[in-house]
Chain A
């Protein structure tokens, strides 16, 4: 099992450009999450999904959109990138409602110039 994978690993965008980050998991997990991690601020939840076809907002959803068309994939979109979105983005998944352990992907380092 690959666990949780993320593509791409690194990306540099110019202000105003758009991009999609892909997260895939092969553990048949119901829940998936997108976090951003900035220096000294820990992980902040952007959006999450409790099942295929569902999404919900987290702490810092502005400027991002998500989709979960297939159970194994969770996409994070930036429609018009801003320098404030420079961060490391982590995707995570967990099995279900009673689960507490989240499995994290390796992260995507995004720089917006």
Chain B
């Protein structure tokens, strides 16, 4: 079967750095995406990695290692507004995307 594994919860302090890991096992792989979702809101796109390495977008960075079927999202200079759920998602063949169960990030003052 296909699966994506990510931690269910992470807690960090305002101003700190936090890393959310994602390991995947899928029948096809075109790329790894990350989405943010605040309570009651819709998922919003954060980043995408198709090739190995680090992609940086402001305070957020995302890393991919295809040989290890592993990626992570790195959030720097944490702010209270970063408290949300973060989903990794793999784009498989046939225009489909498989989502992980999500990691709930709590940012404390």
Contact = CB atoms under 8 A, between A and B. Distances in A.
Interface in B82-101: 87, 89, 91, 94-101
Nearest to B8: A40
A43 interface: yes
Name the residue in B33, B89, B97 with the highest tally of chain A Cβ atoms < 10 Å from its Cβ: B97
Interface residues of B, number: 24
B11 to A, nearest CB: 18
A43 B44 CA distance: 13
B44 to A, nearest CB: 7
A104 B40 CA distance: 13
B105 to A, nearest CB: 15
Interface string A64-98: 00000000000000000000000000101000010
Contacts of A41: 101
A58 B91 CA distance: 13
B97 A42 contact: no
Interface of B: 4, 8, 30-31, 33, 41-45, 48, 50, 87, 89, 91, 94-102
Closest 5 CB pairs of A and B: A104-B42, A43-B99, A42-B99, A42-B101, A101-B45
